[in-house]
Amino acid sequence: MQDDFSVIAVIATYNEEDVIDACLRHLRDQGVSAYLIDDGSTDDTVRIAEAHLGRGLIGIERLPPLSPPRFALSRILARKEELCATLPASWFINHDADEFRESLWGGLDLRGALARVDALGWNAVDFEVFEIPPVGDPETAVADPGAPPPGYRPGRPCDRLQIRAWRRQPLPVDLQSTGGHEVRFDGRRVFPLPFPMRHYPVRSREHGRRKIERDRRPRFDPAERQRGWHVQYDAEERADVAAPGDVLPYDPDMARVLCVLRNRDLESAQSRIDALSASVDALDAQLQQRVATIEAQRTELGELRAKVASLRYELDAVYASRSWRWMAPLRAAFRLLGGR
C-alpha cells in the first residue's frame, strides 16, 4: 500500500454525544482521518469531539444557524462536496456519526481495503447496511464498536444504495441529487462487492424517542420532505428496542460473506435476466392470445363456409326445380310493371 494513501471521512453531526467518541475512535483504528461538520448541536457532541483533534480528527466547523431553524440536508451535502474538493486525501467517505464501516477483508483495515480497491482500478465503494438495534434492555448502550453487537436487522429499502466512498476527483462530485445515498461523477466505477457497515440509528428506547420526536421530525426541511427525503423514521417500530427473536445473530465474518454474496455485477446480470424473462413471458402471453384469436377466427370461418355451402345447395335446388322454370314468364312480367 502506498505510504501517502489517505482517507478522510467527512461527518455531519447533530446531538450525537453518546456515539461520537466511539465513531472517531473506530475511524482512527481503521486508519481513516475525520473532519466534523456540526449542525448546531445543543449537547456535548462538539466538546467530546474536540478531544480527538490531532488524533485522527483534522478539523471541526460549525454551520451557521438557519432561520427558521431546520435540518437542511442539501446544505450539509453541498458543504461536504466543497470539502471533498479541497481537503487533502486520496479517498473520501460521506459519513454519519452512527455508522461504523469496516474492510471487506479480515486482517485489513478500512484504509488498506480502499487502497486495494484503488489499486485494482475501481474508484467508488458501496456498503451493505447491518442495522444494530438495542435488544432487550432499553438502556443498554449498543454503540461501542469494540463490543460484539447482539444482533442486526437487514437495512431498509431506503438504505439499499450506499455508494459513499470514492477516489478523489478532479471536479466536484455530486452528493445532493441523491440525498447523500450515492456519490455521482463522470467515469464512476463501483467495486462489485459492498463493504460491511454497522448502523446504530437508535441506541435505546429513550434515545429513539428523543432523536425522532425532538431532534429529527420537527427539524426536517419541509421542501426536502416533499422530495421524498427523510422517510427513515416514518415507521414507529424503528424507534423501539428489539426482542431477541426479532434480530439475526451478527458475526463480522458472516457479514463479509453476505457482502460477497451481494455482488453488484451478479445482481446487475440477474436484473437483466429477470427483465428479459419478464419480456419473454409477456411476448409469450401475447402470442398465446393471438393463437387463441386465430383459432377462434378459424372456427368461425369454418362455420361461415358451412353455412354458405348449405345456402348454395339450397339455392341450386331452387334453380333446378320445375316451379322455378314455370314461374319465369310471370317474374319477367312483374319486373316490366315496375315490381321488384
Which of 20-34, 156-170, 244-258, 278-292 is predicted with the least confidence, judged by mean pLDDT? 278-292
- Full 3-state SS string of 175-190: CHHHCCCECECCCCCE
% pLDDT > 70, the chain: 81
**H helix intervals, the chain:** 20-29, 45-50, 73-86, 110-119, 205-210, 222-226, 252-261, 264-320, 322-326, 328-336
Provide CATH code, domain 7-262.
Answer: 3.90.550
Pairing of strands 91-96, 7-13: parallel
**Average pLDDT, stretch 221-226?**
83
User: What pLDDT is attached to residue 144?
Assistant: 67
Q: Is the pLDDT of residue 324 over 60?
A: no
Q: Specify the residue for cell string 454551520.
A: 63
Instruction: Kindly state the helix (H) or strand (E) to which residue 13 belongs, with its residue range.
Output: strand 7-13
Q: What is the mean pLDDT of residues 70-91?
A: 95
pLDDT of 35 reads: 98
Task: Give residue 230's pLDDT band: very low, low, confident or very high (50, 70, 90).
Answer: confident
| pTM of the full structure | 0.75
- Per-residue pLDDT reduced to its tens digit, 274-318: 555 666 667 677 778 888 888 888 888 888 888 878 877 776 776
3-class SS string, 233-290:
CCCHHHHCCECHHHCECCCHHHHHHHHHHCCHHHHHHHHHHHHHHHHHHHHHHHHHHH
